[in-house]
Structure 1
Amino acid sequence: MINRVSTPYPSDVSSYIITREEKRSMSDKNLHDGPDSAVRNSSGSKSLYFGLFTLAMGFMVLGGWMLDIPGLKSAFGVVVSMVFMMLLLTALVWWTARELNRIASERQQSDVQLHESEERYRRLFEAAKDGILLLDYDTGVITDVNPFLKDRLGYSKEELLGKCLWELGFFKDVKLSKDDFLRLQNKGYVRYEDLPLETKEGKKLDVEFISNVYQAGGKKVIQCNIRDITERKRAEEEIKFRNVLLSTQQEASIDGILVVGENNCILSYNRRFIEMWRLPEKLVEDKVDTPVLQFVTDQMSDPGPFIQRIQHLYSHRQETSQDELILADGRFFDRYSAPMFGPNERYYGRIWNFRDITERKRREKEREKMLLWQNSVGLLQQSLLTTGTLNQKLKNITDEIVRIFDVDICRIWVIQPGDLCQRGCVHAQVKEGPHACLDRSHCLHLLSSSGRYTHIDGRDHGRIPFGCYKIGLIASGKAHKFLTNDVPNDPHIHDHQWAHELGLISFAGYQLHVPDGQAMGVMAVFAKHPIEAAEDTILDGLSSTIALVIQQAKGEEEREKLETQLRQSQKLESIGQLAGGVAHDFNNMLSVINGYSEMLLREIDSSDTKYERIREINKAGTRSADLTRQLLAFARRQPIAPKVLDINEEVEGMLKMLRRLLGENIELVWKPSANLWKVKVDSSQISQILVNLLVNARDAVSGAGKIVILTCKVELDAAFCRMHLDFVPGKYVVLEVCDSGCGMDKKTREHIFEPFFTTKKTGEGTGLGLATVFGIVKQNEGFINVYSEPGKGTTFKIYLPRHEQENVEIEEKPAGSKIITGTETVLLVEDENSLLVFAKAMLERLGYTVLTANSPSQAIKLAEEYKMNIHLLMTDMVMPEMSGLELRNRITSIRPGIKCLFMSGYTADIMSHNGILDEGINFLEKPFTAEELSLKLREALAVHGTPAPLPASVEKWKE
């Protein structure tokens, strides 16, 4: 809509509008046209004539008055009056002529000025950059149009002249009507501020239309000024857009913005400013800066510098400023201020920008802490590369974590593979519920603790099994890591009361695993402050380094352990070979001693004074034979006859005897495992193992105590076997003997399986008990482990391989209970002459025909030359020329079908492996008795027979 304005035409848009008053100013005396000037000049003449007439009348009155003066005659008065009248008329004529001359001159000058004025107007009319139309006042017909308007509209002058304005088509939206024209005639002035206009070509323009009425040439004329305001409107729209843009930017800004004028009034602000400073709406709506400033100042942690800076900036208007503000509530604001200067350096006020940088400062602080942590952790990691024990390195780690991260407790548990958690682990007693032990084959050992607690032997946390409590769950892989900053209320934390009493609010646990995924242990921290994400990241990364340190240390320990085990194994092997050789020679001599003493005891009467002496000789020989037998067991050279059996049954059959062995003060606890696998072993060796282990346990307990025998079945994996030399992966039955005795230190443990090593006093032990156990276990392809610490008892674990064919039954051979004689011919071969003589005598007393040879070559010669039948070859195994096996083969080739009985005190040559006799081999171990010899002879000949009447000397053997 177009607004009609009836106020006088504004000066800023009337440059080319010529009104009546303006024309007068242009022509100095408003000599625009003749009639108008004549009116003014006529008025001047009338005034002149009126003055002269008044003057003349005055003189005439004066003359009359003078005639009335006494003493003056009337004639004189008349004369005087006439004179004055003549003078007056003369002066009047002269003045009139002079005035008329002046008026004529001025008229001529006015005409020149009018012409010049009209010329100037025409030039202005033609050169004006606004469109100008001249209309007839009475009809509204266009009488003139300037070039600018016709060019802008695209019409020729001829197309416009002589037409009414409202008849033209370029005012499309709003057309001037006759009513508007009448209004113009009446008011003399009409204005349209925003009039849409269209050119002849259809181009749309926005114009400002102003009309006024003035006198020209004695008649009224209407002048219409048309100004193209398209550019102005574009500029106005641009200004509006900029204002909207600035307003939107101000409101969308993340900064709080405040604009204060030069008189300290608030000119502008945005919503962010109110939110940042938490200002009441009413406070800023009043547009007064002082209360707002006071409200803001009250929030500062240190108001003094804040106010001083503001006062300085207001007194130094040219300065800009940027600083940081610290609020009392801990927030940080970045403050920027700049003055606002306009043209001619006019000062309008100052703009203030506030940005909340609290989060940025927090991140900067975090980065600083992160850098500090990283540098400290880097130095810590470098220190771990230095030499030192694992415990020393782990203690250094936990100490540094407490210092760097300001935590209350830091602990590291390390996994000890194969360390069953039942032993010494209080948590293993938990059988049900969320904290029950789920994996009893692994246990976590607390190796380092720093901060509030530094001890590592706590009852509750010194040992933790896999799958039990949070630490065990992390170790088992069910939770690679765990972090909570709400310990008192977290259901995964076991002891909330303990944490609450200590004020602990955060807990973090990390599985220590190497790149291949193998878990080494667990690191855990407790703190009174929340553990931030950055701390969690660094601790998690550090856990990998700790795992590598543990792996490296374990590798070194494992290597040292394997080297020690290898040296120990080689040492025991050497001792075994030596013991086997010694036993061989001893057995040869003991065979003679024991054999002759036995023969003598049977030949003489028990009342004879020599009988007791010979009996003592026989007892000493028997004890010596037991010692050599133990040496052979350690050297794995003891011949055995294994069978499939159930260890539980073997142990149960010995319990009564074992309890008598221990005595009344020691409690023996038997814990058999159900559904135990079968093993293949000589039952007598199980007895030897148990007796030797329990005797050692009894001596370690030394008085009242407790010994536990238990069995179980396990499957050893490759990881476990890598930690233990000679162990082979597979399924095993475990026979375990635990005592509550004094325990052993590491140095003692390294020697316990050596023959004749003992910690007992002289005369209290032979030192062969554990050596025998070691030999038996190795002979049966098993393993033995020892766990012991001073003051914490000892545990021996015997691993015997599972026998898969559990239903195989071994035929029991009848035990000989008496001497069985025979009549067959025996070829006896023995390089030890004394033993050869003794054996010949014993065979003859048993009724056999004996051919003797002290060398293999002599035996071969006898076999070739003897004309009668030879039923049995009885030969020593170890001889200078050839072994007993080679001799058997030679004799068999000469006399096919001959039977063979081997005898030896050192059985390595007749055993396939580990002392187990080859099938079909008949063997007699030295030293032997007459009864053992008679039984072995019958077994070898495969004839049991019945006892035959013996000579008197032989009958005495039965006594």
Structure 2
Amino acid sequence: MKDEEKTREHLIQELEEMRLKVAELEKSGSELKGVENALKESEERLKRLYQESPIPSFTWQKRGDDFILIDFNHAATQITSGKVVHYIGGSAREMYQNRRHILSDMELCCEHRSVVRREVVSSNFAPGRSFSVHYRFMPPDLIILHTEDITERKQAEEGLRWKTALLEAQMNTSIDGILVVNENQQRILTNRRLVDLWNIPQSILDDEDDKALLDYVVSLVKHPGKFREKVEYLYRHPDEASRDEIEFKSGMVLDRYSAPVLGANGYYYGRIWGFRDVTDRKRAEEALKQSEGLYRSIFENTGTATVVLEKDATICLVNTEYEKLSGHHREEIEGKKRWTEFVAPEDLERLLTKPGQPGREANIARKRDEFHFVDRYGNTKIVALCFDRIPGTKKTIASLLDISDRKRAEETLRESQRKLADMLGKGDYEYALPFHGRRRPILIDYVLSTDAGENLGNKYKRFQTQKGILWGEGFATNLSSGERYFSATAAALHDSKGEKIAAIECIRDMTEHKKIETRLHRAEKMEALGTLAGGVAHDLNNVLGVLVGYAELLLAKLPEDSLLTKYAGHILQSSEKAAAIIQDLLTLARRGVSVSEVVNLNKVIAGYLDSPEYEKLRYYHGNVFVRKELAEDLYNIKGSPVHLGKTVMNLIANAMEAIPDLGTVTIRTENRYLDYAISGYDDVQEGNYVVLSISDTGSGIAARDVGKIFEPFYTKKAMGRSGTGLGLAVVWGTVKDHHGYIEVRSDEGAGTAFTLYFPVTREELIREREKADIAAYMGRRESILVVDDMEFQRELAVTMLNNLNYKVNTVSGGEEALSYLRSHQVDLLLLDMIMDPGIDGLETFKRVRELKPDQKAIIVSGFAETERVRMAQELGAGEYVRKPYNLEKIGLAIRNELDRKL
């Protein structure tokens, strides 16, 4: 019973355990079903992803030593155009028997259970297209084969490789040096041409930072600061492009171009630099410029009238000689007239029907001819014509020479030969040697008959006889070529019996020789005058300085109604006039004239016409009418108002004094472009000029006197009208100092015209300075050391500067000044330039600067502003003040220098 109960309990326990296990199994089954469902959903999702993937995929299952295609997705169907359906269940060994590498890749992937990649070109499903194939192992025995069509990418890569190779080839074969840097100024490309141009060391090429290359190139260029500044500027302004030229110390010239590298959205990726060697081109341009200048100079200075003609005979280029020959300015000819317009009617048909003439097509190498040339005034001249075709063009160059005088001389010679033959045939001495239809007594008269010598003194300035040969000099006024100086020698011809049968004379034109001799004589006279002026100007100005200074001090101290005030005023005025006379002497000597102010000539004229001097002149010449024709838009010139004023005064005074009775003086100004010759000048600078013309209807100037009127002290009337007695010599010197030209036209008995040309300046007029208030130049108890070799000048300076509230000490020379400055401090030196004996002002200032580098000084002198004055100013000296000076002049100069910042 007990055994049965035990068995029963055991069975109940087992049954309970079984019930629990059943419950657990039911629970596990439920969980397993959930897992199965999740797995099923995941499988469905993966299968959907597999099927919808855009990458063609094939699933192979390993069976033995082969692989069977068991699945594929929609992309595989599309890429194979549906053919893959027929291969499902197919063997890889059979399918890829001609492409064993695919089977090998599948076996490799299965063996190592890793991804295998390969690029292939299809010959089955999509022949000719490129694919990237990925083999991926999926346990336990599957291989997923993914294929991606990379045909376009491969083509793009191939195109990119080709373009890159092409670009590199272009870069390295370019004639330009090329440098590319990124946005961080690091070099990313440097071509071979740039390396060769700059001879860049390898160590710098290995450094990608552009700074190393920049530092290297800066050491090679001629202007390193400018080069570096431009590079840094462009790096700071990434949106700017630039083009310029760089000069290297070696002489090489590079054309530099730089531009930013920008993306489509404007993003800055860096900068590209291009460098082209233009050295040969620059040299060629310079050589071409020199060649053009040379040929232009040759064209202008051939000595003959020269023109260049177009194919249709239009004149396209003329030189100055042709302007003179034709009477036209070149603007009236070039491109506007044909050369045939200057041919006389009687010669025109002959020239035009003759082959090879200018403007015709006949290919004749060179031609010469003669014809009658008609100028703008209707005058006819005989000219010799020579022309030739310009190689490589359809243009012709023609040269014309006026041979009228030669033709007349030839005719005269022929006539003389006929008459001489007649004379010798008759056996007597009667003859007639015409000079343009008029017989003159010449040396032959005296050779053949001593009685004829009585008239020779009227024709020859001097003559003499030596060993039967007569020599003489003369001056002829009514020749067709104008007034001429000549020299002549004559001798008799004898027969075998010693009898005179004829005479021979040789005449030489000495006109140019005489002109040069006259110029030399004038230069010697001016040099002598300059020596005189230079010798006395300094001492006289020192003396006048005392008179002016003390007269001004007296005027400042005396009451206005005092008689002494009047006397002091006369002393001051007379001293200033004496200083003006010295200035005129310096003007004639071409020394001491400053032409640095901007001047309007109309204002200078107006100033003189409003002066007491002009009123006095009008009082004495009330019968003369003065007419003004002043251009309203007159350009400015650079000049000296004082000297220009004296020039106007002298010319107007001379013009009015030249009119004995009723008459007119005309004052005219105008702007003129000067591109033609002026009588008396070998070279005239082309350009814009202000022209001043003063003419009169007076008695005129004799032809033989015109060349002398500008000589110092030459006159045929009472002198002194200008206040200096130097007249037109001052005018001549002033015009020369202003780099101008002067032209005189005069007909005896019909009046005279002086025309002055002054080069234009584009600078504007500066407003005239009003007289300064004394407070503007008063001192503030600064210390001044006066250095002057003349005691009375030192005393005057002390008095004047004390009145201006300065502390003043004086020394008599440069050595004393140096000694004083070694132990004393002064704010300013008042330094005389010329001191005797001892060192002069320049040498003194040099040594002072060595002792005290910041020492201020102003220079004073009784002479002109010389080169030594300018050298002192270059060393740091202040203004130059000419003696005699007044309180305002010296006060302002000192105040300006003391206030000047070092």
| Common topology (TM > 0.5) | no
Bigger-Rg structure (1/2): 1
Higher normalized contact order (CA 8 Å, seq sep 6+, divided by chain length): 1
- TM-score normalised by structure 1 residue count: 0.40
More strand by share: 2
